[in-house]
Each structure stands twice: as structure tokens, then as C-alpha cells.
Structure 1
Amino acid sequence: MKALQYPNRAARIRVRRDFLRARDGRSAARPGLVVQMVARDPAEGPARAGFTASKKVGNAVQRNRARRRLKEAARQILPLHGLSGTDYVFIARAGTAAREWEALLDDMKSALLSLAAPSRHRQSVKDKPGHG
């Protein structure tokens, strides 16, 4: 039996190695979630998404609810603001399950947009004019 294919759905990250690789990439934290991003070869296909919630989020019921909310938000937002050939890991925070839905969508959109922007390295104090 062939698996169902859904249009505009990001592939899922399910292997620990891929979660760990995303941990070493860029990240953006918002009140409702943390998003980690690592680029792959764009020829490898569309964006992939992984979801996680630690025990800090709450008991199993709360963690599952937080993950389900992140999955639905990513289903709506990732096709619009995600970069192809990129892995995203969405990490639930303690307030994810109780956060207002529109606020959670805004958090995810904001995080994805900030990660899509070119990275700017901070200048060290010595590199700034007038110092050292």
C-alpha cells in the first residue's frame, strides 16, 4: 500500500541525527516556541519539519497537545515562509499548549522570517570604530 501524499506538506524529520544536526544550526526563540534551522542542499527537496517537546512542557497529555498544535501551525505557515532544502525543528515551550492560536501562528511566522533573513554577525568591541 502506498502512503498518502498531501500537497504542500513538509516532509517529517524522524531520525535523531537530523534533530542533532538542526541543533547546531541557527535558532529563533519566541514566547510560544523555539525554531531551529539548518540548510540542506536545495536539490534534496522541500523543507522538512521535526517536532519535539521536553518534559519541562508538562505531562504526556500536555506535551502531545503542544506537539499537535505545532504540527498544525507548521502545516499552515511553513509552505508560505519556509525555505526549500531546509530542515526546521520546532520545539514546544511551557506555554505552547495554552498560547492563543493566533499568537502561536504569529510566533512561528516571526521566527521563520527572522531565520530566512541573512545572518548578521555581531561586531566585536575591537572592530567597532573608536574602540581599541
Structure 2
Amino acid sequence: MRHLGRVAAGERIAHAGSLWGPVCVIETEMPEVLTKRADFLAANKGLRNAKPGFVLLTRPNDGQGIRYGVTVTKKIGNAVVRNRMKRRFRELLRAALPDKGLPGHDHVLIGRAGGVTRDFHLMAHELDQALARAGEGKGDPARGRRPRRGKRSGS
């Protein structure tokens, strides 16, 4: 029986036979994906950890397990660039969250301009650092409210 890679926490190994011999299948309990806008807005009120390629938002979700979401704005680039960045972020989160994710929390990665060209292994290390800081309850200071653009009230 062959097994490539290591078995992470929360994984089960199922053995099945085939015509060519025994097969080892790893069943991983994957975190749930955030799809509702309200969940993303709620995560924005939680802890914020900024890195050069992304911003990690974490917030408790009332015991719904580990959930994650990815968002990339049009400022980053065209659809091809944004989709590539989202694929990279999803893979980073799938690798890191089962071991290092915060239980009972929502995790949201927001793409930044350097995230597309940044080295994947460097971003994985930075995600580990951001998750460790979030686990300690530490985050970056609040940015404050941005001034509104457009019409001014008053004078």
C-alpha cells in the first residue's frame, strides 16, 4: 500500500481494494466555504492581520466549525489575474486550516496587489504567521473610518 504525503489532524485513512492492488484514500474533513455576503461583512468586524500579499480576517462564528472565504477586488487586475489569485488562496487555506486554523472561526483572505507574483511558499509561511497571531488574539490596529467621497454636508 502506498501513501504519498503525511496524514494531517482530522484525516481518516480508508483502505479499498482494486484490480491493481490495495488503494489508500485519505478523507479530509474540509472546512466549509463562506458564500453569504453577511458572513464576509461579519468577518470584517473581527481580527485583521495584514501581510504583503493578503489580509487575513478572523472572527468567531458561534461553533459552526472552521469556515473560509476568499475575496479579490477588481483593483487587483482583470478576471484572469483575480481567478489565479483566488485559486492560490484557496490552496493555501486548504493546506493550512486543518492544522493551524482557529476552531469555531471564520477565516477570510482578501487579496492585495502583490499576491499574484509573490512566492507561494513565502505566502504559506506568512499565512502561518498570521494564523498564529490571530490564535493569540493579536491583530493589526484599526484603520479608522475613511472619509466619504462626493458631496460634503455643511458648508
Normalising TM by the smaller chain, what interval? 0.7 to 0.9
Rg bigger for which structure? 2
**Alignment gaps of 5+ in structure 1:** 1-5, 123-132
Match of 1:56 in 2: 75
Question: What TM-score does the superposition give when structure 1 sets the normalisation length?
Answer: 0.81
Higher strand fraction (1 or 2):
2
4+ residue segments displaced more than 6 Å: none
Report the 3-state secondary structure (helix = DSSP H, G, I; strand = E; otherwise coil) of the residue aligned with 1:55: coil
Q: CA RMSD in A?
A: 1.6
Structure 1 residue corresponding to 2:129, chosen from 103, 110, 114? 110
- Report how many residues are paired: 114
Q: Report the equivalent of 1:23.
A: 44
Cα distance in 1 for partners of 2:42, 2:108 equals 10
TM-score w.r.t. length of structure 2: 0.69
Matches within 5 A, 1:72-87: 72-87=91-106
Task: Give the AA of the match of 1:108.
Answer: L
For structure 2, which runs of at least 5 residues remain unmatched after alignment?
Answer: 1-26, 142-155
| Larger helix proportion of the pair | 1
Q: 1:88 deviation in Å?
A: 0.7
User: Which structure exhibits the higher relative contact order, with contacts defined as CA atoms closer than 8 Å and separated by 6 or more residues?
Assistant: 1
TM-superposed CA distance for 1:8, in Å, is 3.2
Superposition pairs of residues 111-130 of structure 1, within 5 angstroms:
111-119=130-138
Deviation of 1:79 after TM superposition, in Å, equals 1.0
